[in-house]
Structure 1
Amino acid sequence: MKTKHNRVGIIAPTPLIQHQLQSVVAEAGYEIAVNTSPERLNKSFLTNETIRLWVVELEESEQWTGFVQEILERTEMPILFGDGNIPGKNDEDYPRWRRRIHEKLASFAPVVEEAASAPEINLDALISSPVTQRYELPESLKHAPCPNLGPIWVLCASLGGPQAVKAFLDLLPSDVPAAFLYAQHIDAGCLDALVQSIGRHTSLSVVNGEHGAQLANGRVLVVPVDNEIRFTENHGILWQSNGWSGPYGPSHDHLLKNVAEHYGSQSNAIVFSGMGSDGSLGASLVKESGGTVWSQSTDSCVQSSMPDSADDAGTVDWRGTPEQMAEKLLRWLAEHRHAAA
């Protein structure tokens, strides 16, 4: 299946202009990854490789000179600058303006792009890595009432990620009061083998995130590569007929957006080893929803670009090794329960 890679960033000074641009860009078949004002733009997003085009509409004013120069210097993606004249929808010039924008979008960034190659994974190495220890629940959680569904933690990983995710999951006890979604950049044909390898030594239940599968405490659902997923009111997975946005499947940004929209402050994320910047945009939505974001420490990664990008975007609350993250998660769950009580 081909992956849609049609993500556009919009920068405009007012909510009205932002809305007008979003409407016409979405009509052309593009996904809006960022839509913000110059003052609120997270500058690190200008280097996000999943955004293929920036649409910038600023009033002609000297106050934007420095900002425009910074955009030109920081992003390698094409930039479509508006002419400062957006007609109203009932204006006779609107159809001509909309057509011109659509033509420019198609010229700068054609709508469909071939999916990028997924990183290669040594599954044999995962199978031969036995567990040497396992953490226990803190005393405050051992006798506490267990919620039907605890916080949702999305594990985002790419190159070097499976080793880190396995090390993290292997240390967690089976009765951990949290549910997990594991999103790994991988070829779809390797997904079953990944599930078996990751689940070989952990006490958690690691299963494919099939259509209808349920999120549950102590369960790790491995996110499908070729199908976007959403969620039912009773925490079931709904496969969509379309693929993920972005160059890789599953898209961490897209998944985190869906999780944050459905679960709000119960949404959390860990960005593990990987190339690129997938996850940094979605992590910002998790933070805006009241969730927590961690990333793997640079020195413990095979490739630290992905967790570093999330950190550079200002969305990461804490960084550590997979082993440190497993220990911290149990403490976090105890503190989270106390705070929610």
Structure 2
Amino acid sequence: MTAHARRVALVTDSELGRQALMALVGGSQNSIAVSIDVSLGSQPLVDYLQQHHDEHLDMWLLDISAQHDQSILHIVCDGSDKPILVNDELPTAQHMQRYQLWQKRLLEKVAGLSIENNGADNVGLAPAVQVWVLAASLGGPAMVKRFLSSLPKGLPIAFVYVQHIEAEFDNYLAGGMGAEQGYPLRLINREQNLRAGETLVVPADAQLRFLPFGGVIKTAIPWQGPYQPSIDQVVAELGKEYRKKLGVIIFSGTCNDGEIGCRVVKACGGKVWAQSPATCVSAAMPEAAMSTGCVSFQGSPEELAMQLAHIMAQPIAQQEVRR
């Protein structure tokens, strides 16, 4: 086994997925340390984690359907501290070009996950205490930039920035706003982690999956509906994992995307804020959020930053009261 080979624990709920991944990983420099079938339930996975220690593993590779993904992810995260990679696509071998591309990308993801967890990519960045969604449309980039530039450095928060924008501009967005502030922007384009002190930009071309303990995966599935990316969908996915540790700020925008997300965050026990309409380029999005009755604070970008810094300086019990 070479220096970069990975010992992989494979979890699948279909024979097709198991065979394809066994052949792919087994045919590379990596190796399958264990293969676990959860098609009939999670008990085989639970038994394995109870009977074995994961020091003999380097990572987990999951190929599971939507009906199993949340429960299986939670079991793995509770029982192991090794990195997790979720396979989000399994093309058939009949489509040879697409199948070969999938093989190449998956092996790159395995190598990339290993490098990220063992290299210097996240040096000095701690896991986030809270996650805040910054949601915007028309006029959003300038307002979000003002907000981030007004925050004191070092808050234990990871920001997820959802901006309605054309796919070819999301890289420009990440590169053009983050140079001078304490919360630099990074476009989500692989398996990454939400870390305190960063602002992850949601891509416009594909949906995301948020995993327990800070993981996020860019899938191969395009956004559905009229808005790319979808604020409501991102907020709903984050709400499953972060509950009362999640906050959302609705900035300037022309539509009502985020209105459902505000209700989700409120139901989870999180915080819902909005930019004051008088300070927006377009007030439609903040006004739609306010119409839900979920918004507990509104202000200019600078006032929103000041309020967030203020509540993060308070003890946890007082933060709960200020929800």
TM-score, with structure 1 as normaliser: 0.55
Supply the AA of the counterpart residue of 1:165: V
Q: How many Å apart are 1:200 and its aligned residue?
A: 2.5
Preserved CA contact (<8 Å) 2:311 2:319: no
Question: What SS does the aligned partner of 1:303 have?
Answer: coil
Find the partner of 2:256 among 269, 272, 277. 277
Find the partner of 1:332 among 298, 301, 311. 311
Counterpart of 2:28 in structure 1 is none
- Pairs within 5 Å for 1:259-270: 259-270=238-249
Is 1:181 matched up with 2:152? no
Task: Output one character per residue of 1:286-332: Cα deviation in whole Å (capped at 9) or x when no partner.
Answer: 00000000000011000000010000111211110000001000111
Q: How many Å apart are 1:338 and its aligned residue?
A: 5.0
Counterpart of 2:141 in structure 1 is 162
Query: What runs of 5+ residues in structure 2 fail to find an aligned partner?
Result: 1-124
Supply the AA of the counterpart residue of 1:222: V
Question: What SS does the aligned partner of 1:302 have?
Answer: coil
Give the Cα separation in 1 of the matches to 2:316 and 2:158.
Answer: 15
Higher percent of residues as helix: 2
Q: How many Å apart are 1:214 and its aligned residue?
A: 1.1
TM-score, with structure 2 as normaliser: 0.58
Give the Cα separation in 2 of the matches to 1:205 and 1:149.
Answer: 15
Is 1:312 matched up with 2:267? no
Q: How many Å apart are 1:181 and its aligned residue?
A: 0.1
Question: What SS does the aligned partner of 2:133 have?
Answer: strand
Give the Cα separation in 2 of the matches to 1:337 and 1:198.
Answer: 31
Task: Output one character per residue of 1:135-156: Cα deviation in whole Å (capped at 9) or x when no partner.
Answer: xxxxxxxxxxx97321100000
Preserved CA contact (<8 Å) 1:210 1:237: no
Task: Output one character per residue of 1:88-133: Cα deviation in whole Å (capped at 9) or x when no partner.
Answer: xxxxxxxxxxxxxxxxxxxxxxxxxxxxxxxxxxxxxxxxxxxxxx
Query: What runs of 5+ residues in structure 1 fail to find an aligned partner?
Result: 1-145
With 225-234 and 155-164 compared, the bigger mean Cα shift is at 225-234
Question: What SS does the aligned partner of 1:274 have?
Answer: coil
Aligned Cα root-mean-square deviation (Å) = 1.8
Question: What SS does the aligned partner of 2:214 have?
Answer: coil
Find the partner of 2:237 among 231, 241, 258. 258
Is 1:230 matched up with 2:213? no
Supply the AA of the counterpart residue of 2:197: G
Q: How many Å apart are 1:212 and its aligned residue?
A: 1.1
Counterpart of 1:290 in structure 2 is 269
- Pairs within 5 Å for 1:117-132: none
Supply the AA of the counterpart residue of 2:305: A
Give the Cα separation in 2 of the matches to 1:235 and 1:336.
Answer: 23
Give the Cα separation in 1 of the matches to 2:136 and 2:212.
Answer: 27
Counterpart of 2:22 in structure 1 is none
Give the Cα separation in 1 of the matches to 2:141 and 2:315.
Answer: 27
Give the Cα separation in 1 of the matches to 2:189 and 2:153.
Answer: 21
Find the partner of 1:220 among 187, 194, 199. 199
Find the partner of 1:321 among 274, 278, 300. 300
Give the Cα separation in 2 of the matches to 1:159 and 1:287.
Answer: 24
Structure 1 moving runs of 4+ over 3 Å: 336-341
Give the Cα separation in 2 of the matches to 1:182 and 1:336.
Answer: 26
Counterpart of 2:25 in structure 1 is none
- Pairs within 5 Å for 1:105-144: none
Q: How many Å apart are 1:245 and its aligned residue?
A: 2.9
